[in-house]
Structure 1
Amino acid sequence: MNRAALPDQASTQAVAFDQLFWTMVGFSVLIVLLVGALIFVFSLRFRARTGVPRKSVAVLESRRVEIFWTAATAFFAVFFFWYTSTVTLDTVEAPPDAMEYHVEAKQWMWKTRHPSGVREINAMHVPTGRPVTVFLNSQDVIHSFFVPAFRIKKDVVPGRTSTVWFEATKPGTYPLFCTEYCGTNHAVMTGEVTVMTPADYAAWLETRAEGETLAATGARLFTEAGCSGCHAEASQVHAPDLSGLFGRDRPLANGDIVTADTAYIRDAILLPERDIAAGFEPIMPNFTGILEDGEVEALVAYIRTLGQEGLGQ
């Protein structure tokens, strides 16, 4: 395989992924050559010869060889488990100062919302040297967010918020694909991620009309949908206080303890009867069919900001 055939390395994850990939390829080639050489040597050494009875061939037994081969196999199995796990786990959780982008997948386009509220279709502009967390939602079917130059790929499932993060390192324009068959025009569901220097990115933002951020939309919906009637500080209804909720452990009425992450908050809006908070009655209305996916996403984004403020106190 030619290294030149691989996509550019345009993120920190790409470097780590390629190191892992070539390490495993090199090790696999080494094993193939070793086994091939042993087969060749044994075929010559122990081949059938004219006039030599088969039973006269000595049987080779060595406990040391068996122990060495078993120990070496176990060592490399544990080593590669540790190596791949380390590389994979480093890509799971984004740094706390990561920029937050929201991407909505829809047949057959990608709709991007920047932290400042700027929106794009089938495009995403990001600066170099800044971690970026992408919150992914789907309006219809399963899609898959794939940027080969960043070595990131994440399925986007309806009714669930997926996250993926990266840190771009190399300015340029890189293709974005959907790699999950999503319908007739799946092949044209493509886009571009444009990586810019921080100065160029700031200049680009100045040329774009800033819109309402997703958290700001959620703050407005928090009142319009009636959430503030129960969860506001001055509310007369006995409902959980959402300030500082995000990221903390939440005791449930059944004795379980869950982390108030994005999935939990989304389920609390759409499936409120499933996980009842300890000390509260199951009076939360079900908003399934009342709120659209984008509105639920906005509410979750708003509650997440409340959590960040609460955790910072």
Structure 2
Amino acid sequence: MWRNWIPFWHSGASSYGGDVDLLFIGLLTVSLLVTALLFTLLLTFAICYRATRDADRGHRIKKSWHWEVGWTTATFVAFLGLFVWGATLYLRIFEAPDHALSIYVVAKQWMWKAQHPGGQREINELHIPVDRTVRLTLASQDVIHSFFVPAFRVKHDVVPGRYQSLWFKAERTGVFQLLCAEFCGTDHSAMTGRIVVMKPDDYTRWLSQQDVDGTLAAQGSALFRELGCSGCHMGTSTVRAPHLDGLYGRPVPLADGRVVVADERYIRDSILQPRAEVAAGYDPVMPSFAGRVDEEGLIKLVAYIKSLANGAEAKP
């Protein structure tokens, strides 16, 4: 590839790595051209009008609005084009395609904890298959972190109190460095890990070799009952509460007239802040579980409720 001819340049390993590289080169080229023009004019005037040169300093050239409008319009169009280019790529990167492999990642001082749908867990490592789209749902348990994989050209802040989402598709097998790109405390420099990209068969074999305590959804089902949620939300409940079968991905009318989609963010907020978005037709009587469930527990509950999207409860 053409990037291999550039000294010190390592080509990206993800499906959109080349697009990010091209955008970076475009920005760098425009910046260099502007800098070159600035210094060329600066040196030209410094040489032509130096103190020892007998130059006409009294001549005044009238301003021309054609020139002013011309260079203003040209620079505006150029930088607007760069903005549209970057914004389009940004939106494409953070809108995961359908049928992506969903993995949850919790950031905490000072480690990355990954949880696979099958219940497999990792610390500071993430095993994924090559040539398959992977969607990460990121959460922070304490402070702001930043999920950064240089080889994949991906970086995303992980903000406490909300879910963040990003996706990528590794195009070659190997081991790639995972970093935290946001200062998060005294051991920030030690918050590193690695992404292990494997062939599909090797990845399937790796999943089968891990010790698991049921799938992530099954663990969420157990936690759902342990917290007493089934007493209100199951079909046999005497308390009038929204049923969760088929809830995920469905529009939910709210008491204030708005309509939201029951995605991962909505489910999480409904557990921690149940009175913020009350479903229409129901009283705001659900207690908050903030402080009773940590981020890993929330992920299990979200996975369980997602498993009810087709009306079937998750099994171990």
| TM-score with structure 2 setting the length | 0.87
| 1:168 matched residue in structure 2 | 170
Q: Write the letter of the residue equivalent to 1:14.
A: G
**Structure 1 gap segments, 5+ residues each:** none
| 1:85 matched residue in structure 2 | 87
Does 2:72 correspond to 1:70?
yes
Instruction: Give the C-alpha shift of residue 27 in structure 1.
Output: 1.1
The one of 12, 16, 30 aligned to 2:33 = 30
Q: Which moved more, 1:126-135 or 1:99-108?
A: 99-108
Taking the aligned partners of 1:89 and 1:46, their CA distance within structure 2 comes to 49
Taking the aligned partners of 1:51 and 1:191, their CA distance within structure 2 comes to 65
The one of 263, 281, 286 aligned to 1:284 = 286
Taking the aligned partners of 1:282 and 1:24, their CA distance within structure 2 comes to 51
* Distance change >3 Å, CA 53–CA 183, structure 1 → 2: closer
Does 2:223 correspond to 1:215?
no
Can you list the C-alpha shifts for 1:258-289, whole angstroms capped at 9, x where unaligned? 33222221111111122211111112122223
| 1:158 matched residue in structure 2 | 160
The one of 19, 24, 46 aligned to 1:21 = 24
* Distance change >3 Å, CA 53–CA 135, structure 1 → 2: closer
Taking the aligned partners of 1:212 and 1:29, their CA distance within structure 2 comes to 56
1:84-163 mapped onto 2 (5 Å cutoff): 84-163=86-165
Instruction: Give the C-alpha shift of residue 216 in structure 1.
Output: 1.7
Taking the aligned partners of 2:213 and 2:232, their CA distance within structure 1 comes to 29
Q: Write the letter of the residue equivalent to 2:278.
A: I
Question: Secondary structure at 1:90's aligned position in 2?
Answer: helix
Q: Aligned residue pairs: how many?
A: 308
Taking the aligned partners of 1:159 and 1:62, their CA distance within structure 2 comes to 55
Provide the alpha-carbon RMSD of the alignment.
2.6
* Distance change >3 Å, CA 180–CA 40, structure 1 → 2: closer
Taking the aligned partners of 1:18 and 1:303, their CA distance within structure 2 comes to 39
Q: Write the letter of the residue equivalent to 2:116.
A: H
Taking the aligned partners of 1:194 and 1:109, their CA distance within structure 2 comes to 16
* Distance change >3 Å, CA 158–CA 47, structure 1 → 2: closer
Taking the aligned partners of 1:308 and 1:87, their CA distance within structure 2 comes to 33
* Distance change >3 Å, CA 159–CA 39, structure 1 → 2: closer
Instruction: Give the C-alpha shift of residue 4 in structure 1.
Output: 4.5
* Distance change >3 Å, CA 31–CA 292, structure 1 → 2: closer
Aligned residues with identical type, % of pairs: 45
* Contact 1:246/1:260 (<8 A) preserved: yes
* Contact 1:48/1:54 (<8 A) preserved: no
| 2:190 matched residue in structure 1 | 188
Question: Secondary structure at 1:5's aligned position in 2?
Answer: coil
Instruction: Give the C-alpha shift of residue 26 in structure 1.
Output: 0.7
Instruction: Give the C-alpha shift of residue 62 in structure 1.
Output: 3.1
| TM-score with structure 1 setting the length | 0.87
Taking the aligned partners of 2:286 and 2:273, their CA distance within structure 1 comes to 9
Instruction: Give the C-alpha shift of residue 21 in structure 1.
Output: 0.5
| 2:231 matched residue in structure 1 | 229
Q: Write the letter of the residue equivalent to 1:38.
A: L
* Contact 2:134/2:169 (<8 A) preserved: yes
| 1:268 matched residue in structure 2 | 270
Instruction: Give the C-alpha shift of residue 195 in structure 1.
Output: 0.9
Instruction: Give the C-alpha shift of residue 132 in structure 1.
Output: 0.7
Taking the aligned partners of 2:235 and 2:220, their CA distance within structure 1 comes to 17
* Distance change >3 Å, CA 73–CA 302, structure 1 → 2: same
Taking the aligned partners of 2:172 and 2:234, their CA distance within structure 1 comes to 45
* Contact 2:17/2:153 (<8 A) preserved: yes
Instruction: Give the C-alpha shift of residue 18 in structure 1.
Output: 1.1
Taking the aligned partners of 2:29 and 2:296, their CA distance within structure 1 comes to 46
Can you list the C-alpha shifts for 1:144-195, whole angstroms capped at 9, x where unaligned? 2211111222223333322221111121111111222333322222111111
Can you list the C-alpha shifts for 1:30-69, whole angstroms capped at 9, x where unaligned? 12222333334445566678776633x2415433322321
Question: Secondary structure at 1:54's aligned position in 2?
Answer: coil
Can you list the C-alpha shifts for 1:232-258, whole angstroms capped at 9, x where unaligned? 233332211223322333222122333
